[in-house]
Structure 1
Amino acid sequence: MNMGKKIVWIVSDGTGRTASQLIKAASYQFEGADIEYRIMKEVTTDKKIFEVIDRLKEESGMVVYTLVSKANRRLMHRLMVENHILSVDLFGPLISTMEKFLQKVPRELPGLTYKMNRDYFRMVDAVEFTIKHDDGASVQTAQNADIILVGPSRVGKTPLSVYLAYSGWKIANIPIIKNIEPPEIVNKNPLKVFCLIIDPVLLQKRRIDRIKKLGDPKVDGYTDVKSIAEEMEYCKKLADYGKKWVLIDVSYRTVEDLAKEIIQLVSL
């Protein structure tokens, strides 16, 4: 029995990661097997498939392919048979069976797994960043945020930050305190800054509720509606003072609606 090194060619219309993981998992069943894995990725056209065949004629081996296009799978299968190349179609039987079971036509778009993984890890990174930069924390690295939310206490910066983070946006939120200049970071990145303001009466109610649940923060004028109105005017003054901040009134609006508006503005 030939126990020399065996070559397994992985042919994919994406990155080849899906096939690689599955093949390596199967290979653990063969103790002592000496296998070299070679990936040929982004094989999405007839021309590239014929290039694969030419390469295989030079260096034979077993071929495992993951092609989402039915036409490409058929061409690959035909060429494998014609050239007497041992091959396994990982996706074909599975997609065909799922098509019958789900009674839906497959999209046949390569690279969706990679995109979903990329989006997932982007979301995880964004959430971690946002938690680390909540309520003025880690302000020295806030310039790495995609969006900087500023505003007075209890205006709703944290829930909005977290919602945006789950959509993949890195958020830093920084409190604005009346008559105190905000951190320099907001002046260096004005186009990232969104200043949240709110109806003073509504904010007063939120702060009273906060005291009932968490205790009095012992801040002068914290629940005084006149003092709260002055906080709003201070926010507006900061935004208008050449800082180019976008003012957003969050009064009686949902987090989803606010997030949608901010994302649209950032994407302009």
Structure 2
Amino acid sequence: MNRNYPKPIVYVVSDSAGETAESVLKAAAIQFHPNHVEIRRAPYVNGREGVDFVVAEAAKAHGIVVFTLVVPELRDYLIAQARKRKVISIDLLGPIISTLEKAFDQEPRHQPGLIHQLDEDYFKKVEAVEFAVKYDDGRDATGVLLADIVLVGVSRTSKTPLSMYLAHRGLKVANVPLVPELQPPEQLYTVSPQKVIGLVIDPDKLNMIRRERLKSLGLADNALYAQFERIHKELDHARTVMSRVGCKVIDVSNKAVEETAGIILSLIRT
């Protein structure tokens, strides 16, 4: 059956961007396709004047007000004004917040825009993880200049796992392997030593880790990579570089990644 109804106008009112309410409205409106709803978004309404304006416009247009207001006083005011002007209003968040308040036995924060703060944290973490991958293992010395933290140390001192762990805390981390045969990037000596962290390890522990690594690759565990003479040479070189940089040094011999990360976080905050 074909019926030509006038296109309804729905005012989306929010004390933040209004994306939540608009998404819910569109999800509901699609059930009436091909009929269309005209959506007029009123974001960042944080006072009675904004409410008065939107409700008045909705009354003139015979429209509907859909809102996501987390401040109770403003929410109640909008409901009262809509009732007064005979405007249909739909509170999307109020009933949910009220139900969760009872379930958690906890007072809600009533703070607008929190979901966008969470989104910002999420994207910051994603950016930090991408940074850690791009500047892992000294692939690009530019990362030393751009990073929040620069980890330096010999192979198998957990530089990459630490970079990823710290990236999930929103920190951009570059790591640089220290090898006697290769000069460290010059950028390492020009950045603030406060953001450079040196990682060292007990030679016996490193020998064990490297032997296991060689075995996992199907190689002989007595290769040069795991020999004590080579390990001591690398660690001496690493300490020389760290001394020149003037950075803090952490012994990771018997520390889990989480423990070392905690120490790093405390060091960069001081």
Partner of 1:97: 99
In the other structure, the counterpart of 1:205 is 208
Q: Distance in 2 between matches of 1:194 and 1:219?
A: 30
Q: Give the fraction of aligned pairs with identical amino acids, expressed as a percent.
A: 39
Q: Deviations over 1:32-57 (max 9, x none)?
A: 4454433333334xxx1332213442
Q: Which of 240, 245, 251 is the matching residue for 2:243? A: 240
The 8 Å contact of residues 179 and 234 in structure 1, kept in 2 or not, is answered as: no
From 230, 233, 236, the equivalent of 2:233 is 230
Deviation at 1:221, TM superposition (A): 4.6
Pairing partner for 1:38 from 21, 35, 40: 40
**In structure 2, what is the Cα distance between the partners aligned to 1:130 and 1:111?**
29
AA partner of residue 48 (structure 2): I
Q: Deviations over 1:113-168 (max 9, x none)?
A: 22222222222222233223322234445543332211101111111112112222
Between the aligned partners of 2:138 and 2:6, the Cα distance in structure 1 is: 61
| Cα displacement (A) at 1:193 | 2.2
* Residue 196 of structure 2: aligned partner: 193
Identify unmatched segments of 5+ residues in structure 1: none
Q: How many residues align structurally?
A: 264
TM-score, normalised to structure 2, is 0.84
Matches within 5 A, 1:106-145: 106-141=108-143, 143-145=145-147
Q: Deviations over 1:55-77 (max 9, x none)?
A: 44246432111122333322221
Q: Give distance in 1, aligned partners of 2:231 and 2:84.
A: 80
Matched position secondary structure for 2:13:
strand
Change (3 A) 1:219 1:19: farther
Q: TM-score, normalised by structure 1?
A: 0.85
Give the Cα separation in 2 of the matches to 1:186 and 1:33: 63
Q: Secondary structure at the match of 1:158?
A: helix
Corresponding residue for residue 66 of structure 1: 68
Is contact 1:190–1:244 with CA below 8 Å preserved after alignment? no
Q: CA RMSD in A?
A: 2.7
SS in 2 for 1:118: helix
Distance 1:217 1:248 in 2: 30
Q: 1:182 aligns to what?
A: 184
**Aligned counterparts of 1:131 and 1:215: Cα–Cα separation in 2:** 26
SS of 2:174's partner is strand
Amino acid at match of 1:167: R
Counterpart-to-counterpart distance in 2, 1:218 and 1:173: 26
